[in-house]
Amino acid sequence: MSPGRPLPLGVQDCCDGFNFALFSRHAERVELQIFEDAASSAPITTFDLDPAQHRSGDIWHALVDGARWGQAYAFRVFGPWAPDQGLPFDGTLALIDPYAFAVVIPESTANAAPVNPDPRRRPANGHRSVLVNRRFDWQGTTHPRTSWSDTVIYETHVRGLTCHPSSNVKYPGTFLGLIEKLPHLRELGITAIELMPVQAFNASALVNSDGGSRLRNYWGYDPIALFAPHGAYATSGPPGGEVDQFKTMVRELHRSGVEVILDIVFNHTAEGGVNGPVFNFRGLDNPIYYMLGADKRSYRNFSGCGNTLNCNHPVVRDYIIDCLRYWVTEMHVDGFRFDLASILGRDEQGRLAPNAPLLERIAEDPILRDVKLIAEAWDSGGAYQVGSFPGQRWAEWNARFRDDVRRFWRGDPGMTGAFASRLCGSADLYQRSGKEPVNSINFITCHDGFTLNDLVSYVRKHNEANGEDGRDGAEENFGANYGFEGATDDPVIEEARRREIKNMLATLLLSRGVPMLLGGDEFRRTQKGNNNAYCQDNEISWHDWRLLERNREIFRFAREVIAFRKRQPVLSADAFYEQNDLQWSGPSGQPPDWNGPTRALGCLVRPPKHGDAGVRGSELCLLFNASQMPVAFDLPPTVAVRWRVVLDTGKAAPDDIFSAGKEPVAPGGSRYELGAGSLAVLFSGT
């Protein structure tokens, strides 16, 4: 061992060895342990880092010759045991490197409590970081760089997508297994896949369900090491193989023109509150990495998970920027969705900062300039910033879109005006701050809540299997069951549910903004009414691919409406509609009843007046009827010879939607009869 260098942090493969660099301002002594491999119980050697030679400022560093790829390492960090000062140092614990590219956390130690009055009584742990060879053959693939206006997002879970036996993949529940579903994604027409957390997380048992079985952290919103892919998403093999397999997944998605967006958690960690386990940050420098309470023993909790990262401390800001740069430059991802992103705008006292330095740094970082940035623009501390999240570059999950579209199609009175605003890109939310429709990520369902099938099958949540006596999950879901709570074979109820699913799929794809589809909604995936399946690593959450054959009608509809959106650029333009672009009316041509009980309206969408006809598209007539009775619409005059029908959710398949070139002439001349609870789209054609 020699002194080495303080930067970069983490491990760097140098020509003369491996350079290790670790931040800890309050540590008094640091040990670096090297293990033969991640399974070794004892180190083959331990280096005691002398502060005189191995410390530069707050960075502890060493250059080690003779180590090799596949070996493991850990740090033991010694300092004051002073919980009343926010310093619970414990040199008996092995800490993982926050910059580690791969980690191993034995499940038996993942829930060990860290705060014991006598630190000598704490159990030993087997936490390891792994030395990973970062070389990889990208085979010339590059980022697709799909524009926001052309983006269609598919949100899914790496394990859940292919874990069910019906997936028929060679590597179920893994990064490689996801590749095997590329033909399905390509046929559907999505352009980006948004993956629920793939960074190493604590999957250990969480709670007992009512039936007595132990439940696990399935979603992954409990991060341990933010540079490291989750090891369980790799096929069998030595630790570290998950890095290559993640890269292989990204490479093949890019080869197919599909972007990769990661749902990433920077608001809290798996170390939780005062009774949580120690993995790294708490043992390295607790008061730097976390927002502490006034007593220095407790943690501010804006995440709802026990602790909150101190995101706007300069050291933590640098860590987050380094992490994002790594996933972009080394792992080739195309964007990030930031969980509870409002926390990233809170200062060290927990207040929302008007010009949060971290948010500005992310938006202005030169490495991240072409990266898609998506904010979940709220947190558990009461912040709600939908429409007002700082900075022009940030897109936002538009929860107002979700709720207003659900309520309109459920038949709630007074929702017509709000529904029209969502269809037009939510100008009421975004235009005043200089943003555009593409700043709105439109969704009706996501991982957090009902699936689309369950939204039309249940009025209330059914979370009994979570073991929390129904206290978890949102209370108001704006769902409807159409006469029966849950699955049924009643043909009348099933017809109503299929129609409503089509209504919401079509609304999502007809609206300006960026559409996001929840994985499995295209074939009616169900969670049996569970609207908070965070701990259900079982058939409640997994994609049952038998449903694809059973519900081909829904898949075909979703595929065709995505294709129609791509053929009509007026629907996805990155600017708000101007006054002359739209003509709204009631069924008889009268002004719409925006806030009254009427739930039927029509809209004439005129194509832009610039560009050639192929770019401009056709005139569109959109008809919506959320009432319980059929409605006859007077069709507006068209510059073309006649109106042709693209889709009508009130019609039975295959007449519910038509492929390009097969659209029939609208019957009835100047009037169109639209069934109860239905939507129709017509376009001007010869």
3-state secondary structure of 291: coil
Question: CA 149, CA 643: separation in Å to the nearest integer?
Answer: 26
Identify the H or E element spanning 398. Answer: strand 395-398
Q: Which two tokens stand for residue 364?
A: 């202005």
Alpha carbon 657 to its chain's center: 30
Q: With contact defined as beta carbons under 8 Å apart, do 631 and 600 qualify?
A: yes
Distances (CA, A) of 481 to 425, 461, 510, 599: 29, 12, 25, 19
Question: CA 614, CA 63: separation in Å to the nearest integer?
Answer: 62
Q: With contact defined as beta carbons under 8 Å apart, do 438 and 148 qualify?
A: yes
Could you tell me which of 673, 623, 333, 220 has the C-alpha nearest to residue 323?
333
Q: With contact defined as beta carbons under 8 Å apart, do 288 and 29 qualify?
A: no
Could you tell me which of 412, 416, 433 has the C-alpha nearest to residue 424?
416
β-strand 81-82 against 87-88: which pairing, if any? Answer: antiparallel
Supply the angle between the helices 281-289 and 314-329 in degrees, to the nearest 10: 120
Supply the angle between the helices 314-329 and 357-364 in degrees, to the nearest 10: 20
Q: Which two tokens stand for residue 552?
A: 């081909």
3-state secondary structure of 235: coil
DSSP codes, 461-524: ---GGGSSTT-SS-S------TTSSS----HHHHHHHHHHHHHHHHHHHHSSSEEEEETTGGGT
Active-site residues, by number, are 339, 376
Q: Which two tokens stand for residue 289?
A: 């990495």
Could you tell me which of 651, 654, 653 has the C-alpha nearest to residue 667?
651
Could you list the beta-strand ranges (E) of 455-591: 514-518, 582-585
Distances (CA, A) of 51 to 9, 28, 30, 61, 402: 17, 8, 9, 9, 55
Place of tokens 């640098």: 318
CA torsion sign, 206 to 208 to 210 to 213?
Answer: positive
Count of Cβ atoms closer than 10 Å to residue 260 Cβ? 24
Question: CA 533, CA 537: separation in Å to the nearest integer?
Answer: 8
Nearby residues of 313 by Cβ (< 8 Å), 6 or more positions away: 288, 289, 348
Identify the H or E element spanning 201. Answer: strand 199-201
Nearby residues of 409 by Cβ (< 8 Å), 6 or more positions away: 500, 503, 504, 507, 626, 677
Cα dihedral 289, 363, 570, 406, rounded to 10, equals 20
∠ CA 536-538-542, rounded to 5°: 100
Could you tell me which of 50, 14, 49 has the C-alpha nearest to residue 33?
49
Place of tokens 């007595």: 212
Count of Cβ atoms closer than 10 Å to residue 279 Cβ? 28
Nearby residues of 250 by Cβ (< 8 Å), 6 or more positions away: 260, 331, 332, 333
Rg, the chain, Cα only: 27
∠ CA 570-575-579, rounded to 5°: 80
Q: What amino acid occupies position 461?
A: K
Place of tokens 């964007």: 335
